[in-house]
Structure 1
Amino acid sequence: MKSQDESRWAKWCRDDGSIVSCTEKVKVMNENLDELAQMAQDLFEDGLLMEVSAEQMKTTLHALIDQLHNPYQNN
């Protein structure tokens, strides 16, 4: 998926609510999300072709996201 519109994703914010305005950081985030979106779509379509339930595929993808952890979090 080729990036075309920089406003297609969220405005990126820090924990304090301030906006990440560095053009290069925003570009990298958007490109990463474009790649992830394409990979998720490919995975979803492969599952459908293998006759996996669409709802189960979506539930599994949501669970994957819910399992992400922040390795940089201060404890």
Structure 2
Amino acid sequence: MNKTPNINEDSFESDDLLPEYDFDYSKARPNRFASTPENRITITLDPDVAKIFQTSEAVNRALRCLLSAIPEI
């Protein structure tokens, strides 16, 4: 006597997860092993600026050049 229902795999053509998987995200916790940079912020660039500065390294390099041109107080 098999109590597990027979599931026709063709009925789940596009789904990767079966319906019996019910994830309760209210119990989710942050990953304690993931590194979190403490001094990192996120800035959104306008599309015209993002065309020129496509990586964060390019933006940082340009800002450091600009900062070196400003006299220290």
- State the TM-score bracket (shorter-chain normalisation): under 0.3
Q: TM-score normalized by structure 2?
A: 0.28
Q: TM-score normalized by structure 1?
A: 0.27
| Greater RCO (Cα-Cα under 8 Å, separation 6 or more) | 1
Query: If each structure's helix is expressed as a fraction of its own residues, which one has the higher value?
Result: 1
Bigger radius of gyration = 2
